[in-house]
Amino acid sequence: MRYPAGVEQGPADARPDRPGGLIGAVDNVLRLLRLFEDHEMIRVNQVARDMGLSRSTVHRMLATLSHHQFVEQDEDSRAYRPGPVLVDIGLSVVSKLDLVAVSHASLEELRDRTGETAHLGIARGDVNVLYLDSVESYQVVRTSSRVGRMLPAHATATGKVLLAERGDADIAALYPAGLPAGPMPRALASLGELLEQIAEVRRLGYAVNYGESESDVAAVAAPVRDKRGRLRCAVVVTAPLSRVDDAWVKTAAAATMQVARDLGERLG
């Protein structure tokens, strides 16, 4: 939306389509970034004209965005284009959306093969996991969706699988003060215990969780690697502890690893 040149919109001069409660400076920055939807590059004069802001205000906005690498300035034209951080964020979001779209059928297959709830998890930072998708079991008593939940890696089967891709020294470096307290009393309490379980994960190809993140939930997780061998995510099946025994773990592990392999093939 364009505004008369030289008329700077402030809190007391709100746009008709602007709801109350917005932070003016943040609103302006986000509107500026959306200009890249229609323009490969933008210039200070153009932004000032289109947004109804002063050139000095636009210059400060772009300088701040440039400092954080959301935009970068072309040395010849002095125009601004999307910077590496903005591009990386966009690619990351698209990648996750693609991952969820491709993997959903795999989660349905894992649910149907085990009769239990299936989830898709990724690393979030270095020591947490984030669940992007879930397909719930049809059983009356079942574990629930974890979509959007973030849990400590050392207290989940998903996290152990993802940590297992790192070397022991790298894992130790993630916990310089030792393992933080887990969400449940059964969560691992020492780095030594974690490294012992990680060694078992590498040997077996899957990880197990017995009530470490939720008191009455057990889980089995397997890593998903694409055709190039790159770790992309993990698939995990969860069940109430009342239905879990050694036989269930073996059956669930076989199904989870097979679904993870098949999904990896589809990820390319």
The CA-atom distances, in angstroms, between 139 and each of 114, 224, 240 are 11, 26, 11
Phi/psi at 123 (nearest 5 deg)? -70, 140
Q: Closest Cα partner for 154 from 143, 144, 162?
A: 162
Q: What 3 state SS string does 97-156 have?
A: HHHHHHHHHHHHHHHHHHCCEEEEEEEECCCEEEEEEEECCCCCCCCCCCCCCEEEHHHC
- Taking the chain, what is the end-to-end CA distance rounded to the nearest angstrom? 41
Name 124's bridge partners. Answer: 128
pLDDT at 11 over 50: no
84-114 and 246-267 helices cross at what angle (nearest 10)? 140
In the chain, the amino acid numbered 118 is A
Q: What is the pLDDT of residues 133-171, one digit of tens each?
A: 999 999 999 999 999 899 999 999 999 999 999 999 999
DSSP 192-209: HHHHHHHHHHHHHS-EEE
pLDDT at 80 over 80: yes
Q: Residue 95: how many CB atoms within 10 A of its CB?
A: 12
Per-residue tokens: 167: 């070397």
Task: Provide mean pLDDT across the span 129-136.
Answer: 93
Q: How far apart are CA 180 and CA 81, in angstroms?
A: 42
More confident residue, 10 or 64: 64
Q: What is the pLDDT of residues 209-255, one digit of tens each?
A: 999 999 999 999 999 998 889 899 999 999 999 999 999 999 999 99
Look at residue 95 in the predicted model and tell me its pLDDT.
54
Phi/psi at 122 (nearest 5 deg)? -130, 165
The domain limits of the chain are 11-82, 89-267
Question: How wide is the angle at C-alpha 59 spanned by C-alphas 19 and 36, nearest 5°?
Answer: 60
In which residue are the tokens 């690893």 written?
257
Look at residue 8 in the predicted model and tell me its pLDDT.
39
Q: Is 48 helix (H, G, I), strand (E, B) or coil?
A: helix
Domain spanning 89-267: CATH superfamily = GAF domain (3.30.450.40)
Tell me which of 3.30.460.10, 3.40.50.140, 3.30.565.10, 1.10.10.10 is the CATH number of domain 11-82: 1.10.10.10
Residue 9 pLDDT level (bands cut at 50, 70, 90): very low
Exposure letters 164-179 (e unless 16+ CB within 10 A, then b): bbeeeeebeebeeeeb
Name the pTM for this structure. 0.67
Residues 6+ away with beta carbon under 8 Å from 191? 171, 172, 175, 178, 179
The CA-atom distances, in angstroms, between 183 and each of 96, 206, 213, 215, 252 are 26, 22, 6, 9, 24
Rg of the chain in Å (alpha carbons)? 24
* Residue % of the chain over a pLDDT of 70: 87
In which residue are the tokens 């009530």 written?
211
